[in-house]
Amino acid sequence: MWQIEEGHRHPYPRTEKPSLNVLLTGATGVMGSALLPYLDTHNVTCLIHATALNAPRVKTVCGDIRKSCLGLSRGEFKELSAVIDVVVHAAADTSFGGKSDLVETNVAGTERIVELARQAEARLVYISSAFSALGAGGQSTAPAYARSKAQAEEVVRASGLSAVVVRPSVIVGDSRTGHIAKHQGFHNLLGAMMRGQLPLVPLEPTRLLDFVPQDVVAKCIAELLENEFERTEVWLTAGSRALQVGHIADEVQAAAAALGRPVPATRFVDEDLYERLIVPVFLEAVPASTRRMIKTFAEQLTPYVADRGPFPSDVEELPDQVKTLRASIYRWANVSGFHSRDAAGAAR
């Protein structure tokens, strides 16, 4: 029986379908570690690069998707391709910057995974991003990460394999516990708001910030493996159920107050006003650390909270978004040492 880490949801009920031989990349990342408990009826081999994996009933192979033959010897590569039924490719560089590793890992790495799947005559599940559309056509103004994921999707589509592109939006912690393997950019945003380090954001508060809990994404991906692919793409998003960014800020402020550490509300200002007045006049008057924080989130958050309609969504059952958000907020607070304080200001 799979030993599930504290905080993980129990996998969905077993099916009677035969076990598959599954190769999983990115098993130690946020998505891979969330997915593993849902694959415990299958024979799973994890391609591991730098981080050790301690999971029962799982085989590990040390390799590197950035290298020829995935960093394996030709014999190891051939042996691996001889037994795999399905490849779930979740490994990715999720950096916001424009590092060259983004292309080498996300695009060239996907090309090497496609080659393995082709030799294995295996189905391929490629974990992309709902935000890949931002980088479609190599749009130079899109974040480098989005461009690299759009290019990787093209590699998968052109492969001729039986493949499905899975597009989750922002992945947050478990919907019930907030548990997540590693805090992401979304948690950095929550933390900055909780600490009062983000007094203003150059966005309209009505814009949607689409996020989905990792247990929902993991369950959907696991269910994909059980059947032949009927579609070539699946959107794992909140869609029209996504929360407005202003609502998220309100929930963060309420949580900070509940912990006895109230902070001023984050103000949302028009982007044009921000550029014409806030940046040249007021930003220079705030502490340098706050100024850097505002500029960083203005650059990183704005493209992902674009002025557009909701994403398509293939998620039928989605836990309450507010409850999911609160679970992530309090999980971040607990893990980050942001403990509650009593009226006298002492930590409890």
CA end-to-end distance (rounded Å), the chain: 38
Q: What is the DSSP string of 96-132?
A: SS--THHIIIIIIHHHHHHHHHHHHT-EEEEE--GGG
Q: Which of 131, 114, 105, 123 is nearest to 236 (CA)?
A: 131
pLDDT value for 151: 94
How far apart (Å, rounded) are the C-alpha atoms in residues 232 and 154?
12
Per-residue pLDDT averaged across 25-50, rounded?
94
Residue 2 has pLDDT above 50, yes or no: no
> 228-234 long-range CB contacts below 8 Å, 24 or more apart?
228/162, 229/123, 229/162, 229/163, 229/164, 231/164, 232/157, 232/163, 232/164, 232/165, 233/164, 233/165, 233/166, 233/167, 234/164, 234/165, 234/166, 234/167, 234/314
pLDDT in tens, 259-273: 999 999 998 888 777
Q: How confident is the model at residue 54 (pLDDT cuts 50, 70, 90)?
A: confident
- Say if residue 107's pLDDT is above 50: yes
Residue whose pair of structure tokens reads 């992945």 in the numeric block? 171
Residues in the chain, total: 348
Residue 75 has pLDDT above 60, yes or no: yes
Residue 98 has what pLDDT? 55
From CA 135, how far away is CA 139, in angstroms rounded?
A: 5
For residue 156 the two structure tokens come to 């998968």
Tens-place pLDDT, residues 244-253: 999 999 999 9
Mean pLDDT for all residues in the chain: 87
pLDDT grade for 9, boundaries at 50, 70 and 90: very low
Is residue 14's pLDDT more than 50?
no
The CA-CA-CA angle for residues 315, 132, 301, to 5°, reads: 90
Q: Kindly state the average pLDDT of the residues 301-323.
A: 89
Average pLDDT over residues 320-334: 97
Q: What is the 3-state secondary structure (H, E, C) of 133-144?
A: HHHHHHCCCCCH
Tens of pLDDT, residues 191-213? 999 998 888 888 889 999 999 99
pTM of the model: 0.89
Percent of the chain whose predicted confidence (pLDDT) is above 70:
90
Joined together, the tokens standing for residue 265 give: 């509300």
SS3 content of the chain, % helix, strand, coil (to 5): 45, 15, 40
pLDDT 10s digits, 137-146? 766 667 888 8
Contact 45, 60 (CB under 8 A): yes
Structure confidence at residue 51 as a pLDDT band (50, 70, 90): confident
**Above 80 in pLDDT, residue 331?**
yes
DSSP for 291-344? HHHHHHHHHHHGGGG-SS-PPP---S----HHHHHHHHHHHHHHHTT---B-TT
Residues 6+ apart with CB under 8 A from 288: none
- pLDDT, average across residues 6-24: 63
Q: Which span out of 97-111, 121-135, 164-178, 299-313 was modeled with the highest average pLDDT?
A: 164-178
Is 83's pLDDT higher than 50? yes
